[in-house]
Every structure is written in C-alpha cells, then in structure tokens.
Chain A
Amino acid sequence: MTDLACERYAFLVEWYDHRAALNRHYQLFFYPKDESIEMFDVKNHRTFLKRTKQDVVHIQDLYIGSTVNIFARQLKFIDFADDYSKSKLQQMKERTLGMIKPDAVSKMGDIIDQIQKSGFLITKLKMVQLNRNEAFEFYEEHKGKQFLDNLLQFVTSGPVIAFEMLGDSAISMWRTVLGPTDPAIARKEAPKSIRARFGTSTTENACHGSDSPAAATREIDFFFPTVGPTKQNTAQFNDCTCCIIKPHAVLEGLTGQIISAITEANFEVSAIQMFHMEKANAEEFYEVYKGVVQEYNQMVTELTSGPCIVLNIRAKDAAVTFREMVGPADPEVARNLRPRTLRAKFGKDKIKNAIHCTDLPDDGVLEVEYFFKILDR
C-alpha cells in the first residue's frame, strides 16, 4: 500500500527553448497515485515545477521518445532518470518491431487496427522501400538458408511498413497476435491471428515480428537508426495530397480505421510515416492558415501534442477528391451534411477533427514535400 502511495517514476525530458535556441533538460517525476507531475531543472539545481495535478500525461504516455505538451511546453522524453523507473517500466513497456510485408500493405488499415486493439502502442512507423542489400542486412540471421533468396525477392518486391510497438512483454505478445509462421496452420490453431487473416504462404505471411529482445533492438535500430542516415521513404511527389492523422486520433486508436476507410475508397497510400512535430515545424507547416482561420494557434498546439501519422495519398485529382472524402472542417457540420465523411465519423470538434488534409489543390505536393523531403532527412 505504502509502496504504491509513494511510488514515482523519474524521467529525463528535454524542452527546446526557441527563444534561447537551445535544449533545456529537466527531470520529470510522475506520481501514478494521483497522476501528478513534478519537474526539476537539472542545470540550475532547483525545482522547475512543483508537484501539480494535470490531465495531460498518463501512464501510457511514459515511454522513451514520446512527446507531451505540459503547460504549453512540448517535452520530449529522452531517458529514465533512475533505475527504479527503468526496471519497472522497461518490462512493462517492452519494445518490439513489427513489419507489414509487401503482400499485406494493402490491408495495413486492418492490421494496424488489430494491433491497437491488442493493446500495443505504436511509437514509430514508416513505410520503406528496401533494396536487396538492406533486405539482406535485415534477414542476416537466415543467411545460408534456402528460402532466403525467395524471401529477399519477396521483401524487395514492394514497400514495407515498419513500426515500433510498446507494450507489456510486447515481444511474446506480438508473436501471439501474429500467430504461427505458416498461415495454413495459423488458420487452424488461431483463426483470429494476423497471419491467419492476411497471410497466404509461409513466405508471404503478412507480417514480421522480432523473436527476442536482442533481435528487437537490432531490428528497431535497423529501421529507425538514432544516428546515421535514415531509410529512404516511398513518397511520390505528383498527383498527391497530404493527410495527417492528428495526435488525438492516433492516441484514441483510430489510425487503423481511418487508413482502412482511405484504402477502401481506392486512394493509393504511397507513403506513411509517424512524426513527432515540434512547435516551430508545426507553425511553419500551418503557415498558410495563419490569419485565415481563427483556430490557428489551437491547431498548432493540437499538432504538437503527440505523435501524428502522415500519409502521402495519390489518386487522380487527389487533393479535391480526398478533401471531399474528408469532409467539412467542423465535424458537427460534417455529421449534419456529410455523415459518411471521415471527419463526421472520427472527429470530435473543430480542432480535434481527426484528420488534416490539404485544402488548396496546389498545395498537395508542397505539404507532402514538407514532410517527406524536409522533415524526414
């Protein structure tokens, strides 16, 4: 009882002070009992924020790499500040890597939905086109096996979607959710598993999952390197428009449904990636809305309040048609007038309207380029 009462988790967080143009470091303490937080300035050795109750940070937000908005400051979690939180949370928040193979990319909406319903938190996500060398590097452990050549052929045949997942003993959980390697066996033993639903053969089995913590670390580092060049994304900058699934929708687990809806409407998703937006970037991105819509500042805050998922959508006359599908900016209006649009289905209010889409037809390329050329370097 007392243990729970005085329990607290400590993290190192970082805040980019744009006025001083430098990163400031703090220790953030989270008390799970009443969900209050406390911050300590590491450099000046003094309390920065007294213990305060708030409703922004919850226990599921506490992982390395997450971003939260606390009192208009966007804080990024860098590291654990003590061994207790590390040991307590690392096991609770194990990381693993999942990859949707080329055959199942078209069903990514359903797969992501199932992932989120299984209780995983997706912290990084990116669509990548692997070349043969990269694929060989990734499947290093299968070196010398006869099926390797087929596998490489298959993996490089189209884009794959790699994602990092967080959850309680995520590695084994993810393998149970995936089901047996052979979809035929999977259909018998675990008909609800991903491979049973979407796989076709032992090679074309829809998804990949790490099988040990070491492999998970290696594979995560392969797709999301902390240093060095990142993997090339698959964005194509013609006939395209930009769609952003806003942080609130990502947190509510609507990603899968939204993507399914988009793919079902015959839009081609040629690139997808998860971004943690900083305030400056968000302001730059929303530059054109400044002075045009009243909610500009709230829009920026919403976009920076957590991870968002950006999709590069292609179709003929993509900007206009996709915008029609997304519907009016205000979900209330949308529910009244266009009940079948995405915002009517998933939006909450004018700020948390689930999806941002390119408004001006000419800006589609511009916005896609902003994300996939400038931010993802």
Chain B
Amino acid sequence: MMVSKRTRRTREFTGPTPHSVAILARPPNKRPPEYLILERRKQEEMLQEYTKNTQYIEINDLRNEWERGTDRKIKLNTAKRKVHSLMYANQSSVEDRRERLREMLQNEESQYLREMEDREETTIERQAKMRERAKSLKERRESERLQFVQEKLDQQFRNQCEELRSTLSKRQQDQVCVERLEQLRIKEEIEREKQANEIMYAELWEKDRLAKAAKEERDAISAHDRNREVLTILRKQAAALEQQKEASVQLKKEEAELLRQQTILRRLEAERAQEEKINKQIETRDMLDHSLKLKMKKRAKAEQEQLAFDLKMLEQLLVESKNEAMEQMQKKRELREQDRIYREYLSHMKETEKMRQQELEKMINEEVEKMWQKRLAQWQLEREARRKLMEEVLARRREQVQDRLRANELKQMEADQDREELMKVIEENQKTEQALREKLWAKNHQYQQDLEGQINHNRELRQQEYTRDNEEYVLGLQAEREYQYKLKDCLSNPTFDKLHPMRRAMEQK
C-alpha cells in the first residue's frame, strides 16, 4: 500500500500547501459521566444475585440431605423395629413352646410315676410268678440230670468195651511213636541251630579279640611315634638355643676385634702423618740448599767474567800507555784513580752483592717460609680431610658395630623369647602328656573296676544260680517223693486217664 493512502490516526490534517495544518475537533466522550458508579452498581447487583442463588442452593442441599438422612433413619428404625418385634415374637413363641413343653413333660413324668406305682404287683401275682419259676427250675434240673445219666452210661460203655480200648491204646501208641520221632527231629534241629549260633558267636568273639589286639598294637606304635617326635622337637629346640648362644659370643668377639683394629688404625695414621711431615721438611731444605748453591755459582761466575773482562781491558790500556809515559803517568794516575774508584766500586759492589745476597737469602727464606706455610696449610687441610674421613669411616664403622650390637641384642632377646616360648611349649607338652597319662590311667582304672564289678556280678549270679539249683534240687526231691506216693496211690486205685490236652485239642480240630 502506498504511504499516502494510509489513513491517519492523528487529529492533524495537512493541507495542500506546506505548513497548512488543520486539527480535527476532539470527539465527545461516549461514556456518561457517572459511568464508574453505574458500573459498580451493576457489579454489586450481580454479586448479590449470585449470593442469593448460592444461598438458595445451599438451603435446598441441606433440605435434601436432611430428607435423605431422615428417610434412611426411618427405614433403618423400621427395619430395626421389625427385627426386634420378630425377635421378640420368636422369643415369646420359644417361651410359649418351652412352657408347653415343660407342662407336657411334667404331665408325662407324673403319668409315668403313677404307672410305676400302679405296677406294684399283688401277692397272688407274686405267688403265681414264683410257682412258675419253681416249675421251670424243676424242669431244667430234670433235663440236666437226664443228660448227665446219658453221659455216664456212655462213659461206662467206653471203659468196659475191651476191643475199643485195645484199639484205642494201639492207635495211641502209634501216634506217640510218630510224635516222639518228630520231637527228636525238632530237638536235633534246635541243637544244630544252637551249635551254629555258638560257632558264629565264637567267630565273632575271635574277630573282636583280634581287632582289639591290633588296635592296641596300633595305639602303642602311635604313642611311641609321638614320643619320638616330641624328643626330636626338643632336641631341635636345644640345638637352636645353643646356636643362638654361640652367635652372641661370636658377635661379642667380632666387636672386640673391631675395636682393636680401630686403635691400630689410629696409631698407624699418626705415625704416617709424622713421617710425612719430616720427609717434607727434609725435601724443602734440600731444594732450598740446591737453589742457593746454584745462585751462588752463577753469581760468582758472572763476577769472575766481569773481573776478567775488566782486567783484560786494563792490560790493553796499559799496553797503550807505555808509549806515552806522560800520558802514562797521567794515565797511571788516572788509572790509579780509576782503580781506586774501581776498588771503591768493587767494594761497593761487594757490599751491594752482600746486601743483595742477604736480601735474596731473606727473600728465599721468606719464600721458603711462605711455601712452608702453604705446605703446612695444605697439610693441615689434608690432615683435616683425612681426619674427617677417618672419623666418618670410624663413625660408620661404629654405627655398623652399634647396629650389629643392637641386632645382636635383638637377636638375643628374640632368642630369649623363643627360649621362653619353647620352655612354655615344653611345659605344656609335659602337662598335656601328664593329663593324657592320667586320663588313660583313669580309663584303665575304670575298666578294671568295671571288670571287677562284672566278675563280682557273675560270681553273684553263679552263687544265686547255685542256691536256686540247690533249692530246686531239694524241692525236686520233695516233689519226687510226693509223686511216688501219688503214683503208688493211683496204681493201687486206678481210674480212667483223660486224654492229653494237646491231643484233645488236635482231635477237636
């Protein structure tokens, strides 16, 4: 869209020419002047309506709730009342029934009582009953008697019929024979079984005995082994102790040797230092002497050369002066003069030489002294270093010795401890062995007592058996006597013997 076509929002209105602007009039306010108040009133009215509405709803809710609750309660109460009334009705009906039952039972009981009373029997009835009873008893007795008579008759027949008896006795004898054979067989079988049992027990006993012997042997061997083992252990422990002792002695010896070596070392060192010092001094002196001689020789040579040259020159001059006496004279004077000067000069030279000599000597001396000092210092240093080294070495050595001593001590202590422990262990071993020995003794003692008890018991049993046998024997004698008497009696008065109960039972079968 074009810029110019955009509608303006402002109230300004541009004209065709520049700077021609008109302003639109402000539109009048649409809202009435009391707009806010009205608005507020409206809101309040609405609010009021809402509250009224909610209140109405609440009231309705409450009412409904109440109605429902009340309905429920009414229903519940009705049901309860109904149940209660039913229960009550049931209770009352039960009560009613109970009442009726009680009445009925009472009536019945009284009726039964009455009947019981009514049933008290009369004298005639009782007599009749008694008669009846007597009759029946009589009849029963008669029938019993008849039966008995029949039985007796039968018995008589049996006893008196010879044929029957002989047959019976024959049959009986056969049976007895067969049975006896059977009995013998059974007896034999029992005997065999018994023997087999005995053999088996003997074997078992033998096996047991062998097992016990083997076990004892094993025990003895094991005990012996154990003892030997303990002995070897003890020996080992003693050897270890001995070794430790030796080691400590060795250590002490070593220490003494070390100390001695140290002193020797120290002495040697001192000697060597002394020797060295003297050697050095001698050497220096020699060297100095040598240098001095060389110097002197050199100087003397130089002087002599000088003197020779001077004399040569003089001779030359004298040769020349012979030609010229005057001159010579002159020259002699001059020469004298010169000689004197020369002499002076020579003396002077000698003096200076001497001085210089002295000076040189002094210098040399100084030099020597200095050298000496230096050497001394060097020596000192060396000695110091050596001393230090020595000291270090010694200290190290001492430390080593100390360490070894300490280690030795430690070892000794350990050895002591070990020894103590060893002693303890030995003691313990001894104790346990003692306890074992005691236990074994107690066991053996117990076993001995048991055996003795068993022996006593067996003896008692034997005694009892003996007395019982004796009693039985006496009783048997008595019984035998009685039996003989009875037999005699029976023989003198023989009756029909009854069958053996076993046989009777078999026959019945």
Contact = CB atoms under 8 A, between A and B. Distances in A.
Contacts of B115: 337
A288 B112 contact: no
Given A328-B112, A333-B112, A337-B112, A359 B94 contact: no
Interface string B86-116: 0000000010011011101100100010011
B9 interface: no
A360 B101 contact: yes
Contacts of A336: 116, 119
B430 to A, nearest CB: 49
A292 B98 contact: yes
Main secondary structure of the interface of B (DSSP, over half): helix
B240 to A, nearest CB: 61
Given A293-B105, A359-B105, A288 B98 contact: yes
A61 interface: no
A35 interface: no
A333 B104 CA distance: 17
Given A288-B98, A291-B98, A292-B98, A360 B104 contact: yes
B298 to A, nearest CB: 133
B119 A360 contact: no
Contacts of B100: 360
A7 interface: no
Interface string A307-330: 000000000000000000000110
A289 B112 contact: no
A363 interface: yes
B120 to A, nearest CB: 12
Contact of B116 (A289, A291, A293, A337): A337
Interface residues on A, range: 10 to 19
A189 interface: no
Contacts of B97: 288, 360, 362-363
Contacts of A137: none
A292 B109 CA distance: 13
Nearest to A293: B105
Interface residues on B, range: 10 to 19
A334 to B, nearest CB: 9
A287 interface: yes
B417 to A, nearest CB: 57
Main secondary structure of the interface of A (DSSP, over half): loop
Contacts of A363: 97
Interface in A285-303: 287-293
A292 B112 CA distance: 18
B227 to A, nearest CB: 47
Contacts of A333: 112, 116
Interface in A343-377: 359-360, 362-363
A360 B119 CA distance: 27
Contacts of B94: 287-288
Given A287-B94, A328-B108, A292 B101 contact: yes
Contact of A359 (B101, B112, B116, B119): B101
Contacts of B108: 328
Interface in B326-348: none
B112 to A, nearest CB: 6
Nearest to A362: B97
A329 B111 CA distance: 13
Given A333-B112, A337-B119, A359 B104 contact: yes
A359 to B, nearest CB: 6
A177 B98 CA distance: 47
A374 B465 CA distance: 78
Given A328-B108, A328-B112, A289 B119 contact: no
B103 to A, nearest CB: 10
A360 B95 CA distance: 13
Contacts of B119: 336-337
Interface in B110-134: 112, 115-116, 119
Interface of B: 94, 97-98, 100-102, 104-105, 108, 112, 115-116, 119
Closest 4 CB pairs of A and B: A292-B102, A288-B97, A292-B98, A292-B101
Given A289-B98, A328-B108, 19 more contacts: A287-B94, A288-B94, A288-B97, A288-B98, A290-B98, A291-B98, A292-B102, A292-B105, A293-B105, A328-B112, A329-B105, A333-B112, A333-B116, A336-B116, A359-B101, A360-B97, A360-B101, A360-B104, A362-B97
Interface of A: 287-293, 328-329, 333, 336-337, 359-360, 362-363
29 contacts: A287-B94, A288-B94, A288-B97, A288-B98, A288-B101, A289-B98, A289-B101, A290-B98, A291-B98, A292-B98, A292-B102, A292-B105, A293-B105, A328-B108, A328-B112, A329-B105, A333-B112, A333-B116, A336-B116, A337-B112, A337-B115, A337-B119, A359-B101, A359-B104, A360-B97, A360-B100, A360-B101, A360-B104, A362-B97
